[in-house]
Amino acid sequence: MAKSTVEEIRTRFDHDVERFSNLETGQSATIDAPLVLELITQTAARCTPHATDLIDVGCGAGNYSLKMLSQLPNLNVRLIDLSQPMLTRAAERVSAATSGTVQPIQGDVRALDLGENSCDLILAAAVLHHLRTPDEWREVFAKFYRALRPGGSLWISDLITQSIPAVQEVMWQRYGKYLSEFRDDAYRDQVFAYIEKEDSPAPIMFQIDTLRAVGFTQVDFLHKNGPFAAFGAVK
Cβ contacts of 191 within 8 Å, gap of 6 or more: 29, 179
Cβ contacts of 180 within 8 Å, gap of 6 or more: 187, 188
Q: Does residue 81 form part of some domain?
A: yes
Q: How many domains does the chain have?
A: 1
- Cα angle 128, 168, 134 (rounded to 5 degrees) comes to 35
The whole domain housing 162 covers 6-234
Q: Does residue 25 form part of some domain?
A: yes
Backbone angles phi, psi at 113, to 5 degrees: -95, 115
Q: Does residue 75 form part of some domain?
A: yes
Q: Does residue 222 form part of some domain?
A: yes
- Nearest Cα residue to 9 out of 123, 103, 109: 109
Tell me what pLDDT residue 132 has. 93
Tell me what pLDDT residue 28 has. 73
Tell me what pLDDT residue 26 has. 53
Instruction: Judge contact between 152 and 73, C-beta under 8 A.
Output: no
Report mean pLDDT in 10-residue bins for the chain, 235 residues. Answer: 73 61 62 93 97 97 96 98 93 97 97 97 96 96 98 97 96 95 92 90 96 97 96 98
Question: CA 101, CA 40: separation in Å to the nearest integer?
Answer: 22
Counted residue by residue, the chain has a size of 235
Q: Does residue 77 form part of some domain?
A: yes
Find the CATH number of the domain harbouring 71. Answer: 3.40.50.150
- Nearest Cα residue to 48 out of 23, 75, 81, 78: 75
Tell me what pLDDT residue 10 has. 72
- Nearest Cα residue to 122 out of 65, 83, 162: 65
Q: Does residue 26 form part of some domain?
A: yes
Whole-prediction pTM: 0.93
Q: Does residue 223 form part of some domain?
A: yes
Sort residue 93 into left (φ over 0), alpha (ψ -120 to 50) or beta: alpha
Q: Does residue 1 form part of some domain?
A: no
Tell me what pLDDT residue 194 has. 86
Q: Three-state DSSP class for 201? A: coil
